[in-house]
Amino acid sequence: LAAGDAAALTAAFEPLHAADIADLLEQVDDETRHALVRLYGREIDGEILSELKDSIREDVIAALEPQVLADAVRELETDDVVDLIEDLDEAQQDTILDALEASDRVAVEQSLSYPEYSAGRLMQRELVVAPEHWDVGQAIDHLRAQEDLPEQFYHMILVDPRMRPTGYVTLGRLLSAPRATRLADLAEESFRTIPVMQDEGEVAYAFNQYHLISAPVVDADDRLVGVITIDDAMAILDEEHEEDILRLAGVGEGSLSDGVFATTLRRVPWLAVNLVTAGLSALVISQFEETIAALVALAVLMPIVASMGGNAGTQSMTVTVRAIATKDLTSANLWRVIRREVLVGLHNGIVLALPLGLLVALIFGAPMLGAVIGAALVINLLVAAAGGMLVPVALEKLGVDPALASGVFVTTITDVVGFYAFLGLAGAMLL
């Protein structure tokens, strides 16, 4: 296909959704992508650009002719244009801004003036509003007379004379009510506005928690400045989850299409931190060199205690990080949940220490060695449960993202405690 037949390519892409074309462009290698963009160039529309990941998007935009690019962005809503250009370099930003109509350009520039990851960056400026004293007939006539309605809208926002939103009416109610009904009588009960400076994570949480479909955005004076729709909130929710998962694993953000060098750079820092903490474990072990020299079986068994602690700590930590993110963990239930985790740790410890201790006692023919590893396991699982809870809670209180940093601390704690408990007990009891 990529042998040069532009018409065939256009025909093949015709039935595909923009999001699928974007995925395809992301998944092929650089050369194929450049060939595709050259061939398909004139057909690339704003929606495809919107769907592309940042790193690929820059590449594609640079390859497009200015006229094609201008046509592509002009058909987008302002919130999509903002999303499109906020990560581009300045020269590319200016090219796109120049291509917009004057009113859209002002709207986009205003959105860009709000901080990154704020509601102001997410909102679209195209609004469907009505004075609160209108009736249904006036509203419908007004809508029919408008030329430039947003592509998607689900509510008519009611405003007072100072442009402060006072409620909204779903289009369903507007459609099904008699023309003489006052809009104010149709307004939804569950009306929420979003402050323009609110963090996008909070916005997504509000949409998910309160089942919002769209929500008006207001400035510091409570005046209406934009509207956020659920599809944008859903995309943010998806991104936040992705961040959480990747951060828990110590992988920075990035995409599969990034190069080897960029990926290495993102992953090395966490591994370097782990090298330091692993050094700490080595330091602990080195204090027991004589004990190990006297009984080499200890070297064979000690990773078991540490690895079990690491796993139990990760379980406890993950549950806690999630609960913090979903706001399920609050001061109302913190102590109850901590008590539960510690009890779970104790139970896990006892349940697993028994078979481990028995096996070790049998295999090594040394009952005391079995008792020592069992006791060390119980201690380490208790500490893992408590640490897995307390570390993320403490980081959250200190204003550090618990997903980002908890892992290092928790596994350091369980490694150090695991080696110390096992080797220390062994030194005291067996030699």
Site for a second copy in 355-374 (CB under 8 A): 355-356
Identify which of residues 142 and 223 has a Cβ nearer to a second copy in the complex.
Answer: 142
- Contact with a second copy (CB under 8 A) among 38, 255, 394, 429: 255
Q: How many helices (H) and strands (E) does the chain have?
A: 21, 6
Q: For residues 7-36, which are near a second copy according to CB under 8 A?
A: 17, 19-20, 23-24, 26-29
Amino acid identity at 241: H
- Contact with a second copy (CB under 8 A) among 84, 99, 157, 317: 317
Identify which of residues 226 and 418 has a Cβ nearer to a second copy in the complex.
Answer: 418
CA 348 – CA 384 distance, rounded (Å)? 11
- Contact with a second copy (CB under 8 A) among 4, 103, 210, 400: 210
Question: Binding to a second copy by residue 231, rule CB under 8 A?
Answer: yes
Q: Nearest approach, Cβ of 146 to a second copy (angstroms)?
A: 6
CA 104 – CA 44 distance, rounded (Å)? 21
Rg, C-alpha atoms of the chain: 29
Task: State the DSSP code for 152.
Answer: S
CA 419 – CA 292 distance, rounded (Å)? 12
**3-class DSSP state of 120:** helix
- Contact with a second copy (CB under 8 A) among 14, 31, 327, 398: 327
Question: Binding to a second copy by residue 166, rule CB under 8 A?
Answer: no
Q: For residues 91-130, which are near a second copy according to CB under 8 A?
A: 128
Q: Are 327 and 205 in contact (CB under 8 A)?
A: yes
Identify which of residues 110 and 181 has a Cβ nearer to a second copy in the complex.
Answer: 181
* Residues written for the chain: 431
Question: Binding to a second copy by residue 271, rule CB under 8 A?
Answer: yes
Question: Binding to a second copy by residue 340, rule CB under 8 A?
Answer: yes
Identify which of residues 99 and 194 has a Cβ nearer to a second copy in the complex.
Answer: 194
Identify which of residues 11 and 245 has a Cβ nearer to a second copy in the complex.
Answer: 245
Q: For residues 31-90, which are near a second copy according to CB under 8 A?
A: none
Q: Which residues are CB-contacts of 307 (< 8 A; sequence separation ≥ 6)?
A: none
Q: Nearest approach, Cβ of 236 to a second copy (angstroms)?
A: 11
Distance of CA 205 to the CA centre of its chain: 11
Identify which of residues 95 and 313 has a Cβ nearer to a second copy in the complex.
Answer: 313
Q: Nearest approach, Cβ of 191 to a second copy (angstroms)?
A: 11
Q: Are 349 and 418 in contact (CB under 8 A)?
A: no
Q: Which stretch binds a second copy (CB under 8 A): 62-70, 145-153, 195-203, 215-223?
A: 145-153
- Long-range contact set of residues 199-203: C-beta below 8 Å, sequence gap at least 24: 199/117, 199/118, 199/119, 200/117, 200/118, 200/119, 200/121, 200/122, 200/236, 201/117, 201/236, 201/240, 203/119, 203/122, 203/228, 203/233, 203/236
- Contact with a second copy (CB under 8 A) among 35, 88, 184, 246: 246
Task: Give the Cβ contact number of residue 104 at 10 Å.
Answer: 19
Beta pairing partners, 170: 155
Identify which of residues 99 and 285 has a Cβ nearer to a second copy in the complex.
Answer: 285
Q: Which stretch binds a second copy (CB under 8 A): 35-43, 65-73, 85-93, 302-310?
A: 302-310
Q: For residues 383-412, which are near a second copy according to CB under 8 A?
A: 411
Q: Which stretch binds a second copy (CB under 8 A): 64-72, 94-102, 108-116, 230-238?
A: 230-238
Token pair of 282 as six digits: 């080595």
Helix, strand, coil shares, percent, the chain, to 5: 70, 5, 25
